[in-house]
Structure 1
Amino acid sequence: MTNDIIPVILWCVPRSVSTATERAFMGKEGCRCWHEPLGDPFYFSSKRQSLRYSEEECKASGNWDKDIVDVMQTLLDPEANNVGTDKKGPVKYVFVKDMAQYIIPRQTLEKIHKGQGSQCYRTDGETCGTSRCTGVDSEGEIIENPTVIPTALMRRFKHTFLVRTPTKAVPSYYKCCQDKMAGFEFFDGAEAGFEELRILYKWISNPRSTFNTDKEDGPGAVSFPGKAQKQPLPPPLIDASVLLANPASTIKHICDQTGIPFDPAMLSWDAKPQAEFAKWGAYHQGAENSTGFKCEDDGAAKTNGEEAKIAKLPQEVRNTIERNMEPYEWLVKRQTTFA
């Protein structure tokens, strides 16, 4: 088999209907899905950005020696993409669902969340004086690569984005923590991920950024698998409410923009456990039990009921919603429009 696969990454925030989106691609013939592979080095490796888990837990996870750049390269490896799949033929498309904060340097994360009392990041003292945090142009747009992944490797994927209002995503994440659905119970608002998603989108969508101007792969890139992809500009940016209201046209748009053939059969699936989701316990139970996309009711009664529920949430959760509204609204103003 050759390396002529189409690799697509869906960057998102937690609880953004992203796993349901992944399920649409899991049943696609010739498509291999990877479920949050970058979370392993982010949370558990010796060079991890997050401090949610103790060193003992990380060493026992089996991910202690994982390197995030190596994981990204594995996603392009033809042999790795064909291992453990039930596909009838060779893998032609790779669909990766992951979080933008997983590839942001710890120094940047600490700067973003300084003063928020985060347990996952050390946010006391001076942080981040690197070009990864300051590589912006005169208009404040990000020019330099703000991630821990080499630009040439990032250019080997087609990038898409999915976001959801914090009024829905943050309470959903808080409930998952309360119910210990992923094995932990403390809620850390620094994991909401909206500012990190904006940072990544700014870089990839900026025509003047290194992502779009480094036409040559550069020194050392010859060792990366695959080849540079033609990235749609601006990249697809979807709001979850639009996806849920118009799943057929939205999924078709993602397919059209990335080169994965659309099939109406992608809009429904069987409710059953997925081995790919097992590492996060019951966290993705809703997506496993689903059979398709379910439209959200945004009527006045529903909205008023949600507002009342938010008012009863702990102050930390309400603060998290409030401070993430600005980056969310910034992203929504730039969301993709399509028929």
Structure 2
Amino acid sequence: MWSGPRNLSTAMMYSFGARSDCAVWDEPFYAAYLARTGLDHPMTDAIIAAGEPDPAVVAARCAGTPPHGKTHFYQKHMAHHMLPGDDFSWMEGLTHVFLIRHPARVLASYDVKRENPTLSDIGFEQQKTIYDRVREMTGTDPVVIDSNDIRADPAGALRRLCEAIGLPFDEAMLSWPAGGHADDGVWAAHWYGAVHKSTGFAGAEGPLPETGEHLAGVLAEALPFYEDLRQRAI
């Protein structure tokens, strides 16, 4: 699952993690991304210490057998964690889905946790790049799903998603225990407060939020990438 931050990505990981047949991995490349870029994120040192800083090792695990004896392996990837020049060959043979959200909603949410995000922080351009790479690699159009559609009708949207990727729908995907997931990344303490209180998907979203003049430029940059993928959404 290729997403950006504040995209309903954690709730989707919890949804798949609620299936008895599915292992999950929370942002596999985060430690490698921070180690390679030197960016200052909340909890940077802890994230690098807890994760795997070598992207080749991470990629091999992503392409390998699902852990814990599970049949399926849900990987919650942030698109911006992949850097220019990275080897994408590990992606062959895997099923790829792109989770999108209107950039105004992403920016309004992200700015609360880490101020003044840039286009590279929120992953829209990288999502489109990876989408095009997967499309070229597989010769088919990857699945795209909009978080707004999931929030509006979780059961219907998840049924469509499961059908699109050849996975039987499981009612267990609609709820999970409050308090987080055992496979949360160490960064959950900073980012996952709201979803830790949840036991299922929140209701339909309201009107688009005001993002403020300081984010207007980033919003204008992100919109074309979102709109391109939005027209492909199931």
Asked if Structure 1 and Structure 2 have the same fold, meaning a TM-score greater than 0.5 normalized by the shorter chain, the answer is: yes
2:174 & 2:55 partners in 1: Cα distance?
Answer: 32
Q: Evaluate the alpha carbon distance shift between residue 65 and residue 273 of structure 1 in structure 2; reply closer, same or farther with a 3 A threshold.
A: closer
Superposed displacement of residue 188, structure 1: 4.0
Q: How far apart are residue 239 of structure 1 and its match?
A: 1.1
Q: 2:67 aligns with which of 77, 81, 84?
A: 81
CA change 1:75–1:65 in 2 (3 A) is closer
- Specify the alignment match of 2:70 in structure 1: 91
Equivalenced residues, count? 231
Alpha carbons 2:148, 2:205 under 8 Å: kept: no
Instruction: Give the distance between the partners of 2:28 and 2:58, measured in 1 at CA.
Output: 7
Q: Residue 41 of structure 1 contacts residue 63 of structure 1 at CA under 8 Å; is this kept in 2?
A: no
Q: Please give the per-residue CA displacement for 1:68-88, whole angstroms capped at 9, x wherever unaligned.
A: 12112113444x712xxxxxx
Q: How far did residue 65 of structure 1 move? A: 6.8
Cα separation, partners in 2 of 1:15 and 1:325, compared to 1, 3 Å: same
Question: What is the rounded CA distance, in whole Å, between the counterparts of 2:73 and 2:51 in structure 1?
Answer: 25
Q: Indicate the residue corresponding to 2:15 in structure 1.
A: 24
The yes-or-no answer on 1:258 pairing with 2:153 is no
* Map of 1:212 onto structure 2: 138
Greater relative contact order (CA < 8 Å, ≥ 6 in sequence): 2
Q: Cα distance, 1:202 vs. partner? A: 1.7
Q: CA, structure 1 residues 69+318, in 2 after alignment: closer, same or farther (shift >3 Å)?
A: same
Match of residue 51, structure 1, among 15, 23, 38: 38
User: Does residue 162 of the first structure (1) align with residue 162 of the second (2)?
Assistant: no
- TM-score with structure 2 length normalisation? 0.88
SS in 2 for 1:276: coil
Q: CA deviation at 1:58?
A: 5.4
Seq. identity, %: 25
TM-fit CA distance, 1:187: 4.0
C-alpha contact (below 8 Å) 1:19/1:287 kept by paired residues:
yes
Q: Which amino acid aligns with 2:111?
A: Y
Deviations 1:248-274 (A, max 9, x none): 122122222323321112101111133
User: Structure 1 residues 63 and 172, CA, compared in 2 at 3 Å: closer, same or farther?
Assistant: same
Q: Report if the CA contact (8 A) 1:11-1:160 is conserved.
A: yes
* Residue equivalent to 1:101: 80
Once the two structures are superposed, residues 44-64 of structure 1 have per-residue CA deviations (whole angstroms, 9 ceiling, x without a partner) of 2xxx1x23139xx65993369
Find the counterpart in structure 2 of residue 175 from structure 1: 112
Structure 1 unpaired stretches of 5+? 1-9, 83-89, 106-146, 179-185, 214-232
Alignment of 1:192 with 2:87, yes or no, is no
Distance in 2, matches of 1:328 and 1:27, equals 28
What CA distance in whole angstroms lies between the structure 2 residues aligned with 1:329 and 1:288?
A: 30
* Structure 2, gaps ≥5 residues long: none
In the superposition, relative to structure 1, how do residues 27 and 279 fare at CA in structure 2: closer, same or farther (>3 Å)?
same
Coordinate RMSD, CA, aligned: 2.4
Alignment pair present for 1:12 and 2:3: yes
From the superposition, tell whether residues 263 and 60 of structure 1 become closer, same or farther in structure 2 (CA, over 3 Å): closer
Cα gap change, 1:60 to 1:190, in 2 (>3 Å): closer
Structure 2 SS opposite 1:97: strand
Please give the alpha-carbon distance, in whole angstroms, between the structure 1 residues aligned to 2:8 and 2:148. Answer: 9
Provide TM-score, normalisation by structure 1. Answer: 0.62
Q: Which structure has the greater CA radius of gyration? A: 1
AA matched with 1:261: P
Q: Secondary structure of the equivalent of 1:73?
A: helix
Deviation, 1:92, is 0.6
* 1:175 counterpart letter in structure 2: V
Matched residue, 1:202: 132
Whole-Å separation in 2 of the counterparts to 1:72 and 1:272: 29
SS in 1 for 2:74: strand
Q: 1:38 to 1:166 in 2, by over 3 A?
A: same
Aligned mate of 2:204, from 283, 296, 303: 296
Q: Match of 2:86?
A: 148
